[in-house]
Amino acid sequence: MKVSPQEFFPGWIDEIYHWHQVATFKEAGFNGGYYTIDEHPAPAPLSHFNFHGPSYPITFGLLARLIGWKLYYMPYLNVAMMVLSLALFVFLTRPSHVQLVLTALIMLTFWPALIYTPTNMREVLFDALAIVLAAGFYRLSTKAESCSTALPICCGLLITYLSLFKISWTILYLPYFLLIRRRLKLSVLGAIAISGLVTVIAYGIYSLIIAPYPYFTTDLISAFKVSLRTGIETFVDHALLSLRHFFKPDDNPLWLMLRFQALLVIVVGFLYALRTKRDQALARSGLVIGISLSILLMENILLFDVGDWRDYRLIAPMLLFAIILLIAHRRQTLVALIVMTNLLVTPEFLKATQEHKSIHFEVDQRAVEQFESRISSVMAYNPEAGGWCNTLLVDFPAYMDSRMVGVPPGIGISWADNLEQYTEIKSRYLLISNESYAILGEVARLQPIASTEIGKIYLNLDADCPDIPQSPVAQTDIWRKTTYHSSSSAASPGRG
């Protein structure tokens, strides 16, 4: 069945909230509601956004103020970003015909980029900027001392910008400062020291602007608080589990192939790094590739999760960075091998795209419109009120439902995960099940104002908010005419 690009719908949970946060920034800037888990916001008061931080909503929210923000816009923007990044690569590296062909073959077979292009995920932005960074690093490796000052400055700013999206991009600081150390009159130890300092500063800023989320690192810190032994055991157990998953023979072939390619490129990168006498520029880039990818894999295994698309999404942009850098250095044989290994898992790619098609192009739009109509009739963004007065607290499984895109822009959506821990409720609105009401109704005075197919909507009378009169339609007709029943959720292929 043929589908139109304008039928695209952000179906995964990450996509839903990426899209909605952009819509909120477009509508309200930094004054919108909160996107949190259990009403725990980012330490920085200005950031009302979730555990992925404000960088994505700000970047595309500013763009949305110029071009609008419809549900199907992001796939078009993804294509535009990839085209622009490849144009910059061509401009900066002046590739030969063979290099252009290899670049085209890589982009036609690099399945992670093709899988996520027709989505609202952040991965295509990372892929596009990885291509630009690869071109920049190529120029730094070939003309480290003679290139204009603007190039290293732009590369450093781009790494910093990416680190505000995902802190793992800070791994590029080490090879970056090693490349430009002579311009800065630094020793090798000095370059390592300054890269470590900048990474710590970046991590500090990142920690301030993202809302808390229960990652493994949170569990690890809690384990070390119990005792040193508990912390070490937790760390070792997680590392061993991640290693087993990393080399799991019956895992998704797409994931296995990407891991194999990453390991291959790491080994080859370090081998190139030894060729200082034959080709110093290639040696520098080999060191960049070996350092960045090996640190990324270690981080992924030791501190993050392996499997369920998580390591796939984390590794892919950095692997693309390495491949594009190899193309710039005319490593045709290795790149051709990567293309051939990509082709080996083509059936799995086609299977994945077919599954994604049902999620993104076969959504009941009428149900979404009905939900939007019902919820917008009882709540709307109030620019005169504070963030919590423009926040909707939602329980599971409503939080996972794709219809949440129908929540009015400006209204933040927070997830009530651990209901037992609430002693107060800061959000003005709630969309919860009867079971959740039995718990949260003991914490605050909740007035029912409407019902939807995925839960009942309540007004929190204890919220510190100015009175906002509800329309008679909202409190009578909709309440009587709608019925409550649970809805299936649209799950994400893993957070990242």
3-state secondary structure 89-135: HHHHHCCCHHHHHHHHHHHHHCHHHHHHCCCCCCHHHHHHHHHHHHH
The residue with tokens 């499984």 is 397
Is 461 in a helix, a strand, or coil? coil
- Comparing C-alpha atoms, which of 47, 42, 71 is closest to residue 58? 47
Question: According to the model, what pLDDT value does residue 467 have?
Answer: 66
Task: DSSP for 247-313, please give it.
Answer: T-TTS-HHHHHHHHHHHHHHHHHHHHHT-TTT-HHHHHHHHHHHHHHHHHHHHHHHHS--STTHHHH
The domain containing residue 293 runs over which residues? 89-358
- Comparing C-alpha atoms, which of 197, 204, 150 is closest to residue 173? 197
Distance, CA of 250 to CA of 155 (rounded, Å): 39
- Whether residues 35 and 159 fall in one domain: no
- Whether residues 134 and 197 fall in one domain: yes
Residue bearing the bigger pLDDT, 277 or 399:
399
Residue 246: pLDDT band (50, 70, 90) is very high
Distance, CA of 490 to CA of 493 (rounded, Å): 10
Tokens of 377: 């009739």
73-93 and 123-142 helices cross at what angle (nearest 10)? 10
- Whether residues 290 and 175 fall in one domain: yes
- Whether residues 18 and 129 fall in one domain: no
Distance, CA of 24 to CA of 41 (rounded, Å): 16
| pLDDT at residue 495 is higher than 50 | no
pLDDT over 90, % of the chain: 78
Task: DSSP for 149-209, please give it.
Answer: THHHHHHHHHHHHHHTT-GGGGGGHHHHHHHSTTTTT--HHHHHHHHHHHHHHHHHHHHHH
Model confidence pTM above 0.85: yes
- Whether residues 36 and 135 fall in one domain: no
Strands 429-432 and 455-460: antiparallel
- Asked, for residue 35, whether it belongs to a domain, the answer is yes
193 pairs with which residues across the strands? none
Distance, CA of 2 to CA of 156 (rounded, Å): 44
Task: DSSP for 342-362, please give it.
Answer: HHHTHHHHHHHHHHHHHHHH-
- Asked, for residue 77, whether it belongs to a domain, the answer is no
Please write the tens of the pLDDT for every residue from 463-492: 988 765 443 333 333 332 333 333 333 444
Residue 52: pLDDT band (50, 70, 90) is very high
Number of domains present in the structure of the chain = 2
- Whether residues 123 and 172 fall in one domain: yes
Query: Mean pLDDT across the stretch 141-154?
Result: 85
Residue bearing the bigger pLDDT, 359 or 426:
426
- Whether residues 414 and 273 fall in one domain: no
How crowded is the C-beta side of 344, counted as CA atoms within 13 Å? 15
Question: According to the model, what pLDDT value does residue 148 have?
Answer: 83
| pLDDT at residue 359 is higher than 90 | no
| pLDDT at residue 147 is higher than 80 | no
Residue 22 near residue 124 (C-beta atoms within 8 A)? no
- Comparing C-alpha atoms, which of 169, 113, 51, 161 is closest to residue 313? 113
Find out whether the peptide bond into 397 is cis, omega within 30 degrees of 0.
Answer: yes
Please write the tens of the pLDDT for every residue from 281-307: 999 999 999 999 999 999 999 998 898
How crowded is the C-beta side of 365, counted as CA atoms within 13 Å? 9
- Whether residues 293 and 319 fall in one domain: yes
Distance, CA of 255 to CA of 263 (rounded, Å): 13
- Whether residues 39 and 93 fall in one domain: no
Question: According to the model, what pLDDT value does residue 363 have?
Answer: 81
Question: According to the model, what pLDDT value does residue 1 have?
Answer: 57
Q: Which helix (H) or strand (E) holds 426?
A: none
- Asked, for residue 129, whether it belongs to a domain, the answer is yes
Distance, CA of 359 to CA of 27 (rounded, Å): 27
- How wide is the angle at C-alpha 11 spanned by C-alphas 306 and 3, nearest 5°? 120
Tokens of 420: 């037992």
Question: According to the model, what pLDDT value does residue 479 have?
Answer: 32
| pLDDT at residue 493 is higher than 70 | no
- Asked, for residue 79, whether it belongs to a domain, the answer is no
- Whether residues 206 and 262 fall in one domain: yes
Sign of CA dihedral 189, 192, 194, 197: negative
- Whether residues 145 and 104 fall in one domain: yes
Is 415 in a helix, a strand, or coil? strand
Q: Which whole-number Å values give the CA distances from 401 to 13, 112, 374, 398, in the listed order?
A: 8, 25, 15, 5
Last residue of a domain, one of 358, 383, 408: 358
Residue 429 DSSP code: E
- Whether residues 370 and 346 fall in one domain: no
- Asked, for residue 82, whether it belongs to a domain, the answer is no
Last residue of a domain, one of 358, 387, 418: 358
Tokens of 137: 């690093």
Please write the tens of the pLDDT for every residue from 259-286: 999 999 999 999 999 876 778 899 999 9
Q: Which helix (H) or strand (E) holds 364?
A: none
Query: Mean pLDDT across the stretch 206-231?
Result: 91
Task: DSSP for 2-68, please give it.
Answer: ---GGG----SHHHHHHHHHHHHHHHHGGGS----BTTB--SSTT----TT-SHHHHHHHHHHHHH-
- Asked, for residue 388, whether it belongs to a domain, the answer is yes
Last residue of a domain, one of 337, 358, 379: 358
Query: Mean pLDDT across the stretch 394-413?
Result: 93
Query: Mean pLDDT across the stretch 144-155?
Result: 85
Tokens of 184: 């800065």
- Asked, for residue 213, whether it belongs to a domain, the answer is yes
| pLDDT at residue 323 is higher than 80 | yes
User: Which residues have CB under 8 Å from 392's CB, separation 6+?
Assistant: 33, 379, 407, 411, 412, 413, 414, 427, 429, 430, 431
- Asked, for residue 84, whether it belongs to a domain, the answer is no
